[in-house]
Structure 1
Amino acid sequence: MIKSTFFVLRISLAWLLVVFLFAGLWSNLPLIGWIDWPVVVAGMLTMALVVAGALSHLGRVQLIAGRIDKAALSNRQRRQVEIPFEAGEAFDLLDAAIRELPRIEQVESARDSLQVRAKVGRPDVNIERIGGRWNPLSWFGIPRNQILATVTPGHDSGSVTLICEPESPAWSDWFLVDDASNYENAEAITRAISRRVGERRRGEKADAAQTATEKELTVAKLSLLHAQVEPHFLYNTLASAQLLTRSDPARADEMLGHLIQYLRRSLPSTENELSTLGVELERALAYLEILKVRMGPRLSVQVDVPEEVRTTALPPMMLQTLVENAIKHGLEPRTGGGTVWIRARRGDDGAVAVTVADDGDGFNNKTNGTGIGLRNVRERLRLVYGGEAALAVVANFPAGVAATISVPAKFKPEVDHV
């Protein structure tokens, strides 16, 4: 109530000074200056219309803002809005929000300086005032507002300074009202920004949910490799051990020992945790030792993996997949067998390259060694490391295939692994 009374008194006093000034000028006019009643009537009518117009403005502010205070009554509105996007995205969002305003015109966007200027037509509320267009508050009022918006870049965000004001000098605020149109514009732009930020967030959540769903489906397929023991391999190993117990118990005992080691390494204690190159190497070597008992001199194994790289994080069963590919697609089809090389090196770029090579059949018409196993390896690398890891499969010289996995030497996981 106090704010409303003060506002009406302020604008009434400003117009009263105008009336007194006009009365003084009228009294100095020749011939008609002595006639007082036209000035008195005009002055009283003007003041009545001014008070009525001020009360109408108060009613409109109350209707739009839901309150009457200094901030809501002001013709000039300022807002500070934080947008959680980088400055370029924040500017695009702000520009689109301003262009959505009704009665918007003359929009000027400067993306380099991150500024938007615009003119906005006012709603025609003169008919709502007592006296309509005869009301002094409408005599020399500006029928448009203007908007100045600036984006200040921050750390991964943009701070928007929004100014909505009449297209008239500041002194006119003593005599004129904007019928809450600038408050309405400022609130509309702020709401539009909030709505667009909300839409962006919902879109990001939907994309993240879809990505998570796709990842879960992929994990469901790939997790079988985590602790999987091929039934045929297990059956053949046990069958070979059974035969050796009759002819060569020592070799049978050796084979069963390697099988136990292999099974122990194939059943990790914590689901989906990353393993290390050292652990995966032990599993692969246990697998190869079993095959050496079965294949005899047809299989040769050479290992060159320095101790300093054996702590490198590596998804479980990944090295095993490459070794199995080298045996199945490279050496087993050959009558004379061959050699499997396992080599690891730390590069200058901070990555560790793990290579499994063979001198088997290589890329031929029967199989090229790039089947589902290697596709799974690539997919798992993508899910775990993003773009920081890679798999390369090339021809080995003079024969066979070399598959190389490159992973970061120091890797801190942010999500569950497969």
Structure 2
Amino acid sequence: MIKSFFFVLRLAIAWMLAIFLVAILWSNLPLIGWIDWPIVLAGMITMALVVAGALSHLGRVRLIAGRIDKATLANRQRRQIEIPFEAGEAFDLLDAAIRELPRIEHVESARDSLQVRARVGRPRTYGEHSMGRWNPLLWWFGIPRNQILATVTPGHDTGSVTLICEPEAPAWSDWFQVDDATNYENAEAISRAITRRVGERRRGEKADAAQTATEKELTVARLSLLHAQVEPHFLYNTLASAQLLTRSDPARADEMLGHLIQYLRRSLPSVDEEMSTLGAELERALAYLEILRIRMGPRLQVQVDVPEPLRATVLPPMMLQTLVENAIKHGLEPRTGGGTVWIRARAADGDVAITVADDGNGFNSKTSGTGIGLKNVRERLRLAFGGDASLAVVANFPAGVAATLSVPARYQREVSHA
């Protein structure tokens, strides 16, 4: 109540002094200076309009802000808003929020200097002004617009916004006029718009993270199923071959069962680790290939060139196995003469390139499969390494297919010899 009283009193005193100055000038005019009633009448009407305008301003401030204090009564509003994005993103968000203001008339946006200037039309909050164009207050100040100055100060992954909303009039005019809380309204509207946009961005990020986590869980689930369900035909055929060999060649049967045990041991899922190493995956693939060499005989040749230091490279489990199985099933098995499978690894430019190649049928539509295995390999690479890993499948020369995994060399793990 006291703040409201002093606010009205301040405006009244300022206008009384202005009217007193005008009365002095009027009294010094020749011919008409001796007539007092025009200046007295104009002064009384002006004071009535000033007090009425001040009371209207107080009522609107209380209605919009819910309180009356120095900050809400001021014609000029300042806000300091922290946006949790880097300065460029914060500027784009601020610029969009300002452009969405009602009655926005002109926006000057300078992205390099991180500044936005704008002019906003001031609404006639309660319709036409009292007395229309005969209102003496309009003779002095007219109907000024509001203006906005916003600056983004870069921080550490944040942008600090300094927002100023004020009348398009000099600061001294605040002694004589009120803005009907329009600048307070503009400042609050921009603050709300920024908060809403930050919230939408955060919800979008959370939704993307949740979707990525769901995709990763589905991939891990498929991988666990792949671990738990070793291909039945391969297992049955291997056991059947071992059973036959026990009668004709017990030594080879024992060798086959040893490789099968090694393969199964490496195929069991690990509950502690989601990632494997190139060394562990190579052992699994070689156990698989050794079993097939016993079954296929001289039709299958294997050449391995993987340097020992690269065997600690982190690799999603079953990924190398998928490429080796593709080379056998779609490249060499359908071919009467069989062929060779090459497995090699090389380090270059911060990446490790792991290639599985064969000299089989190549891109033959009858034996090329559905491509689901390679699609899963690419998806698992994306989930494990983002955009830092890739899979390339090309024709091998003079025959066959070469599939190359490129993974970051910076991911290394101690090699286990268990």
User: CA offsets, 1:1-46, max 9 Å, x none?
Assistant: 3322322222222122223223333443455555656655554554
Distance 1:316 1:289 in 2: 19
Residue 20 (1) aligns with residue 20 (2): yes
Tell me which amino acid in the other structure corresponds to 1:84.
Answer: P
Q: CA RMSD in A?
A: 2.9
1:68 counterpart letter in structure 2: I
| Counterpart residue number, 1:51 | 51
> Aligned equivalents of 1:70 and 1:135: distance in 2?
28
Does residue 280 (structure 1) correspond to residue 319 (structure 2)? The answer is no
Aligned twin of 1:242: 243
Aligned 1:107-146 pairs, distance under 5 A = 107-125=107-125, 137-143=137-143, 144-146=145-147
1:394 aligns with 2:394: yes
Change (3 A) 1:364 1:97: closer
1:16 is paired with a residue whose SS is helix
Residues 4 and 58, structure 2, Cα contact 8 Å, conserved in 1: yes
| Change in 2 beyond 3 A, CA 1:369/1:346 | farther
Taking a change above 3 Å as real, the CA distance of residues 328 and 100 of structure 1, as seen in their structure-2 partners, is closer
Query: Could you say if the C-alpha distance between residues 352 and 226 of structure 1 is closer, same or farther in structure 2, counting changes exceeding 3 Å?
Result: farther
- What is the SS of the residue equivalent to 2:366? coil
1:60 is matched with 60
CA apart distance, 1:195: 2.0
Q: How many angstroms apart in 1 are the aligned matches of 2:50 and 2:211?
A: 61
CA shift for structure 1 position 223:
4.4
Range with greater deviation from structure 2 (67-76 or 19-28)? 19-28
Point out the more displaced range, 291-300 or 177-186: 291-300
The answer to whether residue 399 in structure 2 is matched with residue 408 in structure 1 is: no
Q: Secondary structure of 2:388's match?
A: coil
* Contact 1:142/1:167 (8 A) holds in 2: no
Q: 1:126 to 1:393 in 2, by over 3 A?
A: closer
Q: Secondary structure at the match of 2:82?
A: strand
TM-score, length of structure 2 as denominator length = 0.87
Distance in 2 between residues matched to 1:328 and 1:101, nearest whole Å: 64
Matched, 1:158 2:197: no
Residues 65 and 72 in structure 1, CA contact (< 8 A), matched pair in contact too? yes
Corresponding position: 1:307 with 2:305: no
- 1:298 and 1:210 map into 2 onto residues whose CA distance is 46
Equivalent residues, number: 412
| Corresponding residue SS for 1:246 | helix
The residue that corresponds to 1:97 in the other structure is 97
* 8 Å Cα contact 2:224/2:269 also seen in 1: no
CA 1:31–1:397 in 2, change beyond 3 Å: closer, same or farther?
closer
Instruction: Say if 1:362 and 1:105 are closer, same or farther in 2 by CA, change over 3 A.
Output: closer
Question: For residues 50-86 of structure 1, what are the alpha-carbon distances to aligned partners after superposition, in whole Å with 9 as ceiling and x for unaligned?
Answer: 3333222212211111111111111111122233334
Are the counterparts in 1 of residues 335 and 361 from structure 2 also a CA contact under 8 Å?
yes
Distance in 2 between residues matched to 1:268 and 1:126, nearest whole Å: 73
Cα distance 1:333–1:22, how it changes in 2: closer, same or farther (>3 A)?
closer
Alignment partner of 2:398: what SS? coil
Aligned-pair identity in percent equals 84
Maintained 8 Å contact 1:52/1:130: no
Instruction: Give the match's secondary structure for 1:386.
Output: helix
Cα distance in 2, alignment partners of residues 113 and 39 from structure 1: 51
Q: Output the CA distance in 2 between the equivalents of 1:233 and 1:184.
A: 74
Q: CA deviation at 1:406?
A: 1.1
- Distance (whole Å) between structure 2 residues aligned to residue 43 and residue 358 of structure 1: 102
- Compared CA separation, residues 370 and 340, structure 1 to 2 (3 A): farther
**Structure 2 contact 107–116 (Cα < 8 Å) conserved:** yes
Amino acid at match of 2:52: A
Cα deviation digits, residues 61-116 of structure 1 (max 9, x gap): 11111111111111111122233334444333333322322222233334444433
Q: Distance in 2 between matches of 1:63 and 1:412?
A: 64
Q: State the shift of 1:205 in Å.
A: 3.4
**2-structure distance, mates of 1:133, 1:322:** 85
Deviation, 1:404, is 1.6
Deviation string 1:295-348 (CA, Å, 9 cap, x unpaired) is 23333322221110111011111111122222222332333333322211111x
Contact 1:126 1:138 in 2 (8 A): no
2:107 aligned counterpart, secondary structure: strand
Amino acid of the structure 1 residue aligned with 2:405: I
SS of residue paired to 1:300 = strand
**Offset at residue 147 of structure 1 (A):** 1.8
Alignment correspondent of 1:177: 178
Q: What displacement does 1:125 show?
A: 4.3
Report the counterpart of residue 73 of structure 1 in structure 2. Answer: 73
Gaps of 5+ in 1: 414-418
Unaligned runs of at least 5 residues, structure 2:
414-418
On the 8 A contact 2:392/2:403 being kept in 1, the answer is yes
Counterpart amino acid of residue 22 in structure 1: V
CA–CA distance in 2 between the matches of 1:238 and 1:356? 27
Equivalent position amino acid for 1:24 in 2 = I
Distance 1:285 1:165 in 2: 76
Whether the aligned pair in 2 keeps the contact of 1:322 and 1:403 (CA below 8 Å) is yes
Go from structure 1 to structure 2 and tell me whether the alpha carbon gap of 1:344 and 1:189 turns closer, same or farther (over 3 Å shift). same
1:140 partner SS: helix
User: Hey, what does 2:416 align to over in structure 1?
Assistant: none
Query: Is the CA contact (8 Å cut-off) linking 1:53 and 1:137 kept in structure 2?
Result: no
1:260–1:104 Cα change, 3 Å: same
Letter in structure 2 aligned against 1:6: F
Q: How far, CA to CA, are the matches of 1:395 and 1:57 in structure 2?
A: 79
Distance across 2 between alignment mates of 1:310 and 1:172: 77
Query: Partner amino acid for 2:106?
Result: Q
Amino acid at match of 1:274: M
TM (norm. structure 1) is 0.87
> Which shifted more, 310-319 or 10-19?
10-19
Q: How many angstroms does 1:174 deviate by?
A: 1.0
Contact 2:46 2:137 in 1 (8 A): no
Do 1:276 and 1:314's aligned partners in 2 also have CA atoms closer than 8 Å? Answer: yes
Aligned equivalent of 2:200: 199
Larger deviation, residues 84-93 vs 64-73: 84-93
